Amino acid sequence: MEERSLDKALDIYSALITGQEVSRSNPDTRDMYEDFYSNSAVYDITTKLMKKLNLNIYEYNESIYVTAGEGNRVFGYTNDDMKRNLGLRLNKELYMVYFIMYNGLLLFYQDSASYQVKEYIKLEDIMEQVSTYLSAITSDISVYAMDELEEESFKTIALLWDELPLVTSDEKDKNRASRASKMGYVKLTFNFLVEQKLFVAVEDRYYPTDRFKAIVENYFEEYKGKIYRVLGGEADA
């Protein structure tokens, strides 16, 4: 009996880390979902295995999702991994992407008590919000007189954003992912989020997936202050 439960737990683990949707509505993985919730031995083995491997397992809308725990270098991304994946060179460019991600989340979730209020967002929505948050920093003329700035600070990100045009001069490239414009940075960021199955792109609209909702409503709420600390903000902001 224990060996059978272990085999079922390993099947669930294998499916999750290979990107399969373990869901009651998925005929290929329905039995795994039922085993996870109806068999206490399978549930315990699976959750213990995930914890040992520094993986977080979440349930949303009768589906199971897994994401790497903080500092997981096997299943997660390091900053260098992210820069290579996104084609970035500098830390400040990467922190700009992180800041864009954070603002995308804020458009759906303002605090732990709120529910999703938007069905979708557009790149222009993100660009406007990022500009609003950073304009308060660049409006202070003394910022431009600073000789040295830490690459991960809000000031550095604000100055980088301020230097960028809204779009590239070629109208055909206004939605091209790149580091050449504000819109390019936002497009670059959301291309990555689509690849991670967190959003579905339909023309110029981005719809959050159940995977996004599962991670945001669980993992993000636990670590939401970390990006503020990394970017130089207050710990409890």
pLDDT of residue 177: 80
Both 152 and 53 in one domain: the answer is no
Both 224 and 190 in one domain: the answer is yes
Count of domains for the chain: 2
Q: Which residues of 85-104 are buried (b: 16+ CB within 10 A; e: fewer)?
A: ebebeeebbbbbbbbbbbbb
Q: What's the pTM?
A: 0.79
Both 184 and 102 in one domain: the answer is yes
Is residue 74 included in any domain, yes or no? no
Write the CATH number for 47. 1.10.10
pLDDT of residue 136: 72
pLDDT at 162 over 70: yes
pLDDT at 107 over 90: no
Both 56 and 85 in one domain: the answer is no
Indicate left, alpha or beta for 54 from its phi (over 0: left) and psi (-120 to 50: alpha).
Answer: left
Is residue 108 included in any domain, yes or no? yes
pLDDT of residue 104: 87
Both 63 and 83 in one domain: the answer is no
Q: Where in the sequence is the domain holding 53, given as residue range(s)?
A: 2-68
Tokens (6 digits) for 179: 């580091």
